[in-house]
Amino acid sequence: MSKKKQAKENKKIAKKQTQKTSKEPLMKRLLPALVIAIFGFLIYSNTISHDYALDDFSAIKENFVTKQGVEGIPTIMTTSYRYGYWLSNGTLYRPLSLVMFAMEWQMAPDSPGLSHFVNVFLYAMTGLLLFFCLSRVMKDYTILLPFLTALFFIAHPVHVEVVANIKSRDEIMAFLFCLGAVYCLWGYLKSEKMSQLVFAILSYTMAMFSKENALTFLAVIPLMIYFFTKVSIEKNLKISAFFLIPIGIYFATRRAILGAVTAGTKDTSPLDNLLTSTDSSIEHIATAFILLGKYLAALIFPFQLVSDVGYSQIPVVGMGSPVVIVSILIFVGLTIWAILNMGKKAIWAFGILYSVITFSIFSNLIIVIGSSYGERFLYMASLGFAMILAWVVLKFSNVDLAKSKGEELFAMLSKYKMAAGIALLIVGLYATRTLTRNPVWENSYTLYHADIKTSPNSAKLNYHYALEQIKMGNREKNPKIKNEWYAKGKTSFEKAISIYPKYHDAYGELGLAFYRLGQKEKALENYALSLQHKPNNANVYSNMGIIYFERKDLNKAQEVYEKAVQINPRFVDARRNLGSVFAQKKEFNKAIAQFKEALKYDPKNPTIHQYLGFVYRDMGDNASSQQWLQKAAALGAK
């Protein structure tokens, strides 16, 4: 054999050996990864049968673009996040999750079970990829460290809001794609194959188009390279700079569509972010640290979970509060301590810095966001806590963190029984709390009914609880029980107003509650109060129109309905009712115009189809009447 052929043969043999050795670690990691994924799926499997809850309505069930299915995808890609539900300019651009919701609606219209399943499945896949990613990044550490970190993360009860609330798919996808970017990046660092770097950049691009907090990984990536590799700082910065490309693509796209780069909060109500009610920057910072303390408590003791602690469950405070001082000492102290220990490349230091970086965007200290509190904001940041917890368990159990030759996970767990026992106890407690918290998210009523006990002084929570109580009354056939529900709703609205006297939506809904109780004058009084605090309230004008229509005051009804559709041109109910007013006044062409305009935003509304049939009948156009009435019957009109 010639030297050339021998060299070629040797190269083939070396390649096969390399492939074989690379497959062995992969197979060793596959079973632990599957254990984590299956565990994650099982502890959230009891959410698959749930209905829509909380923000699921704005993103899916009441979003006219999402409900167009695949036909709505071009609109989703070229409009703001809230466009299909909320008539505003919008400052959020998160198209990926909405595209998925539209596709799911196309496959199974108005079927939350499919979307809940997708959330649970993607969460399970996050656990699988997280372990693969960490075992790659932490290749010099015992396999117990990435395994326990991923297991603690996937079991942590603070993630219930993200998994059980379909809308929070954006959080799941952003983190999943960030992990994909890190996994591929480490493949590039090992092989220097450009394809791996390209995949990393593509994955990070998808993360940015899922949710903008993926931006924080621009700082996380060089931090990870510094802590877990021997790459020089110069090379680290050069590699990390490539991840500016997805950020540039995202913000350029966002600017082209929304016309703005920054997310404005000048119109944010204290009901959404209580920090906008502070009188000074000192109060703002002090209260923000109170909320940070609340977040830390949720991570360490995740037993009192809640969907909202808004105005005024958490009071506005000054720097003199002892709780504020303790909170500042903890957060600032831990951050400084971690920075000072960066040179040691300690796991706990990375965990602290990672959490600080990924949560910074939600802290309301750097920028003021549209919400003051949400457990979903802890999703990415909780990985740092899980990592520190895993490190503490292993150190307490005297486990050598350095990787030993040929180590295998289950053999290591058997060897270090104390670490395995402590980890099992923690995971058991987490899983139990997760399984008991999940049913609370079955629907909006169960959520607010449970959380009002934890956060009784939240005006927003009382308001939404009242809405659900009214809905319970609407479903009830027994008049006595129906009125009891309406009375409960009225009481909850009144409490919301007592907490926040400028609560225009609460006044409007309180008026509607009085209307349902037969007290129409009280209803009009509260509608007027609502309009004092928010003159351009389309819902209130529409509800006033109902009373005027019933009183046969068609001119006044027309006036308020026209105001409603002028404020909100996509207001289907107001256009339907305005069309009915025109029909009563024998102005048939105007009635038809309103009904057809309403169908642009709710094309499968059987009632509107039926009303069009009636109008054409009254006009004497029997052929058109029959066409619309047949469509109405096919859509389920009674």
Closest CA relative to residue 441, chosen from 157, 204, 121? 157
Which of 105-109, 166-170, 221-225, 271-275 bottoms out in mean pLDDT, i.e. has the lowest? 271-275
User: Looking at residue 252, what is its pLDDT?
Assistant: 95
What tokens appear for 614 in the block? 């009636």
Q: What is the spatial distance between Cα 176 and Cα 277, in angstroms, rounded to a whole number?
A: 35
By percentage, how much of the chain surpasses pLDDT 70? 94
Residue 261 predicted with pLDDT over 60: no
Maximum pairwise Cα distance, the chain: 104
Instruction: State how far the alpha carbon of 154 is from the alpha carbons of 28, 144, 352, 412, 426, in Å.
Output: 20, 15, 19, 21, 12
Which of 41-45, 90-94, 467-471, 478-482 bottoms out in mean pLDDT, i.e. has the lowest? 90-94
Q: What is the mean pLDDT of residues 94-115?
A: 96
Q: What is the mean pLDDT of residues 287-307?
A: 95
Q: What is the mean pLDDT of residues 562-570?
A: 93
Question: What pLDDT digit, counting tens, does each position of 520-554 carry?
Answer: 999 999 999 999 999 999 999 999 999 999 999 99
Residue 48 predicted with pLDDT over 70: yes
What letter represents residue 87's amino acid? L
By percentage, how much of the chain surpasses pLDDT 90? 86
Domain ranges for the chain, please list them: 3-437, 458-535
Q: What is the mean pLDDT of residues 117-133?
A: 98
Question: What pLDDT digit, counting tens, does each position of 172-182 carry?
Answer: 999 999 999 99
Closest CA relative to residue 61, chosen from 70, 75, 71, 51? 51
The fold for domain 458-535 equals 1.25.40
User: Looking at residue 407, what is its pLDDT?
Assistant: 83
Residue 447 predicted with pLDDT over 90: yes
What tokens appear for 115 in the block? 């979307």
Confidence of residue 269 (pLDDT cuts 50, 70, 90): confident
Q: What is the spatial distance between Cα 92 and Cα 82, in angstroms, rounded to a whole number?
A: 8
**What is the DSSP code string of 291-344?**
HHHHHHHHHHSTTS--S--TTTTS----TT-HHHHHHHHHHHHHHHHHHHTGGG
- Phi and psi (nearest 5°) for 120? -65, -40
Query: What residues does 402 pair with on adjacent strands?
Result: 141
Distance, CA of 29 to chain centre: 30
3-class secondary structure, 111:
coil
Confidence of residue 87 (pLDDT cuts 50, 70, 90): low
**Cβ atoms of 356 and 330 closer than 8 Å:** no
Question: What pLDDT digit, counting tens, does each position of 362-398 carry?
Answer: 999 998 998 999 999 999 999 999 999 999 999 999 9
The residues, any chain, with a CB within 8 Å of residue 568's CB and separated by 6 or more, are 87, 538, 574
Residue 25 predicted with pLDDT over 80: no
Residue 159 predicted with pLDDT over 50: yes
